């Protein structure tokens, strides 16, 4: 669900939407670095990556992919997992942090949509709608358990060293596998599940 149609339809709305969406991938990476720092690895802090400054994070190609195709990436926050107090917990918590951040941003956007009930098609509605949808997509995308995505590191945290080695060997071919999985539509059930859970919780909070 890219934004290219919005660019031609309403350039102002495109600009208004682009800013929170770019910050969605920045916050994703910042969350990785912050949790790693709390668990004993100061690498991201030393390199100035615990910052909301977009210059520190944005990758030109990844940002363009986000705005055109609906999923993208920032420059990965460097993490030295050997510095973490507990390697297995670190793999799970650090790798999950960005996904959790995207889910929380999607929840916030859907919550504000329900609370404010903006006019469909208006600027507020458009910003919140795209922010919710793309954060859910980013969370689902990063949960794919294929290197180099976060899902693979989460899986490693629960796996034997032999299985971890097998996953690591997939990394040179990872993006080809991921593209194939995306083409097969593997994200749609997960995206629908996340959206259902979030909307269900909001319906409880705001009956």
Residue 14: per-residue pLDDT:
72
Local confidence band at 60 (pLDDT 50, 70, 90 cut-offs):
confident
From the CB of residue 180, how many other CB atoms can be counted at a distance below 10 Å? Answer: 11
Structure-model confidence comparison of residues 101 and 8, the more confident one: 101
> Phi and psi dihedrals of 170, rounded to 5?
-80, -15
pLDDT tens track for 107-150: 999 999 999 988 887 888 888 998 999 899 899 999 999 998 99
**Taking phi first (over 0 means left), then psi (-120 to 50 degrees means alpha), and beta for anything else, what does residue 121 get?**
left
pLDDT tens track for 166-202: 888 988 898 889 889 888 888 899 999 999 999 999 9
Q: Is residue 74 classed as helix, strand or coil in its secondary structure? A: strand
The span from the CA of 21 to the CA of 132, in Å, is 9
Local confidence band at 20 (pLDDT 50, 70, 90 cut-offs):
confident
Q: Is residue 118 classed as helix, strand or coil in its secondary structure? A: coil
pLDDT tens track for 77-100: 999 999 999 999 999 999 999 999
Beta bridge partners, 58, equal: 74
Over residues 63-69, the mean pLDDT reads 72
Residue 179: per-residue pLDDT:
85
Alpha helices in the chain (DSSP H): 4-9, 11-38, 43-46, 60-69, 87-116, 123-142, 150-157, 161-169, 174-183, 187-205
Residue 6: per-residue pLDDT:
65
**Torsion of the alpha carbons at 104, 194, 71 and 12, rounded to the nearest 10:** -70
Residues annotated catalytic, as ranges: 29
Q: Which residues contact 157 (CB under 8 A, 6 or more apart)?
A: 88, 89, 90, 91, 92, 95
Asked if 176 and 148 count as a contact pair (C-beta separation under 8 A), the reply is no
Question: Is pLDDT at 1 greater than 50 in this prediction?
Answer: no
CA atoms within 13 A on the CB side of 203: 6
pTM value?
0.89
């Amino acid at each position: 669900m890219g934004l290219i149609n919005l660019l031609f339809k309403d350039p102002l709305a495109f600009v208004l939407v682009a800013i929170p969406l770019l910050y969605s991938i920045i916050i994703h990476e910042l969350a990785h670095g912050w949790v790693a720092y709390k668990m004993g690895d100061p690498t991201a802090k030393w390199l100035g990556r615990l910052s909301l400054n977009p210059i520190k994070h944005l990758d030109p190609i990844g940002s363009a992919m986000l705005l055109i195709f609906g999923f993208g990436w920032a420059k990965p926050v460097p993490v030295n997992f050997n510095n973490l107090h507990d390697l297995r917990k670190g793999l799970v918590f650090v790798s999950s942090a960005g996904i959790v951040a995207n889910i929380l941003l999607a929840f916030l956007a859907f919550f504000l949509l329900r609370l404010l009930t903006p006019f469909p098609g208006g600027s507020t509605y458009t910003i919140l709608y795209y922010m919710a949808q793309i954060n859910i997509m980013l969370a689902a995308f990063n949960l794919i358990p294929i290197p180099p995505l976060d899902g693979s590191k989460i899986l490693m945290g629960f796996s034997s060293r032999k299985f971890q080695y097998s996953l690591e060997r997939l990394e040179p071919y990872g993006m080809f596998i991921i593209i194939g999985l995306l083409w097969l539509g593997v994200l749609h059930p997960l995206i629908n599940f996340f959206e259902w859970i979030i909307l269900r919780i909001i319906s409880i909070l705001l009956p």
